[in-house]
């Protein structure tokens, strides 16, 4: 499963549509259910107890996804209020896209029953979650982008696992936000 610049452009053109992905979060309900995200993943539903029998780490995965859903929605709702010239806007667009492809990768791993790769997904997605939360909190606290810009990096292992070319994503963002 790889992600293309066409998918990223589709995402950018529709990034104003804010909705939660989780219908049932699998934490306070017995089901884990996601709404479809056209171009990325289908509407899907799994019984959590069945998933946990196949992969014990599913509980951690579902917790990460619940947090991802919170942050992608938060980012979507604050994006319209950020000037296109503000560098936080580009980084927020990247973070939200990364969250969407993380959802897509996880759903794909469930669909193909690759429970071993879910362990790696958990490790890498937890890093993304921490990365995104730190940047959002910095923005909310009024910290200038230049003060945190040197810390904004994900390791290459992430890009390889999720099959995404971040240089092309950066190019597309630079064209979108002239």
Express each pLDDT in 103-130 by its tens digit.
Answer: 999 999 999 989 899 999 999 999 999 9
Structure confidence at residue 178 as a pLDDT band (50, 70, 90): low
**Could you tell me the residue range of the domain that residue 93 belongs to?**
5-176
Q: Best-predicted range by mean pLDDT among 7-11, 15-19, 49-53, 122-126?
A: 122-126
Express each pLDDT in 148-160 by its tens digit.
Answer: 877 777 777 888 8
| pTM, 2 dp | 0.90
State the total domains in the chain: 1
Contact 21, 72 (CB under 8 A): yes
For residue 25, give the H/E element and its range.
strand 22-25
Nearby residues of 150 by Cβ (< 8 Å), 6 or more positions away? none
Express each pLDDT in 32-91 by its tens digit.
Answer: 999 998 889 999 999 988 888 888 889 999 999 999 999 999 999 999 999 999 999 999
- 22-25 vs 31-34, strand pairing mode: antiparallel
Distance, in Å, from the CA atom of 95 to the CA atom of 139, rounded to the nearest integer, reads 13
Distance, in Å, from the CA atom of 44 to the CA atom of 132, rounded to the nearest integer, reads 25
- Tokens, residue 48: 């959590």
Q: Is the pLDDT of residue 1 over 60?
A: no
């Amino acid at each position: 499963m790889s992600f293309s610049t066409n998918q990223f452009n589709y995402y950018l053109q529709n990034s104003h549509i804010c909705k939660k992905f989780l219908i049932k979060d699998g934490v306070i309900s017995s089901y884990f259910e996601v709404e479809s995200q056209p171009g990325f993943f289908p509407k899907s539903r799994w019984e959590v107890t069945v998933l946990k029998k196949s992969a014990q780490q599913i509980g951690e995965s579902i917790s990460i996804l619940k947090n991802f859903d919170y942050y992608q929605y938060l980012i979507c709702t604050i994006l319209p209020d950020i000037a296109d010239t503000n560098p936080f806007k580009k980084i927020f667009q990247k973070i939200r896209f990364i969250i969407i492809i993380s959802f897509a990768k996880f759903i794909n791993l469930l669909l193909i029953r690759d429970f071993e790769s879910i362990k790696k997904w958990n490790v890498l997605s937890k890093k993304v979650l921490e990365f995104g939360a730190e940047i959002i909190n910095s923005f909310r606290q009024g910290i200038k982008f230049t003060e945190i810009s040197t810390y904004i990096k994900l390791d290459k292992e992430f890009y390889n696992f999720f099959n995404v070319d971040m240089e092309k994503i950066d190019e597309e963002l630079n064209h979108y936000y002239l």
